[in-house]
């Protein structure tokens, strides 16, 4: 699309693509200060491609725009999960409805993460690790139930398998004054490298 043809046009939120473009721009404006330079550049490129696609009304999406849509939908899905991983009813069906995509598309997006449910569980475990450090007087069982785990034993097994230590061991390490600075940094870490980062520094 020529720049002159797009000048003065307004992106209406009347289609899934247009709503996605607007939602991506809003999220980017909020999250940009805390993003890594690489993530920020990728998100901005995605935003540009989405806006181009939204302005090309009636024209089929090219490969770049389709890739941007996949990236933006996955980012929005992660935000929906990470914003409140313990929310009641959090499920692939609810995400599919909010994202306005098919179940098959949702599952394909999360294949690199090991699946939708696997990502939800990882998000809950990240939130649990943060709560264990931030709220040292909150019972471990309360954290487990508050984040949607069916039982404390299920929570402990998943936590140990993912993070390499039990919830109580992590809390004991965190409450040691000599380790406080490390865990304050650890709770800020996000993404798929979270487990490896903690295990590497805890060794």
Closest CA to 97 of 30, 89, 145: 89
Closest CA to 119 of 88, 90, 142: 90
DSSP 49: H
Looking at residue 118, what is its pLDDT?
92
Report how many helices (DSSP H) and strands (DSSP E) the chain contains, helices first. 12, 0
The token pair that represents 84 in the structure block: 């409140």
Whether 178 contacts 116, CB under 8 Å: no
- Residues 161-187: tens digit of each pLDDT: 988 889 998 888 877 767 666 655 555
- Residues 60-119: tens digit of each pLDDT: 566 777 888 888 899 999 999 999 998 888 889 999 998 888 999 999 999 998 999 999
Whether 164 contacts 129, CB under 8 Å: no
- Residues 125-175: tens digit of each pLDDT: 999 988 988 888 899 999 999 999 989 999 999 999 988 889 998 888 877
Residue 4 has pLDDT above 60, yes or no: no
How much of the chain exceeds pLDDT 90, in percent?
30
Model pTM score = 0.73
């Amino acid at each position: 699309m020529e720049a002159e043809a797009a000048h003065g046009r307004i992106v209406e939120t009347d289609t899934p693509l247009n709503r996605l473009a607007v939602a991506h721009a809003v999220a980017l404006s909020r999250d940009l200060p805390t993003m890594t330079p690489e993530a920020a550049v990728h998100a901005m490129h995605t935003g540009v491609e989405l806006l181009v696609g939204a302005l090309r009304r009636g024209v089929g999406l090219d490969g770049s725009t389709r890739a941007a849509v996949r990236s933006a939908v996955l980012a929005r899905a992660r935000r929906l999960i990470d914003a409140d991983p313990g929310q009641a009813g959090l499920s692939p069906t609810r995400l599919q409805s909010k994202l306005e995509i098919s179940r098959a598309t949702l599952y394909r997006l999360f294949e690199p993460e090991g699946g939708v449910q696997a990502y939800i569980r990882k998000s809950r475990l990240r939130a649990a690790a943060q709560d264990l450090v931030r709220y040292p007087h909150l019972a471990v069982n309360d954290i487990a139930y508050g984040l949607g785990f069916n039982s404390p034993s299920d929570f402990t097994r998943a936590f140990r398998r993912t993070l390499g230590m039990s919830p109580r061991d992590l809390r004991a390490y965190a409450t040691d004054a000599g380790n406080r600075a490390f865990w304050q940094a650890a709770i800020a870490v996000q993404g798929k490298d979270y487990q490896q980062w903690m295990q590497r520094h805890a060794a």
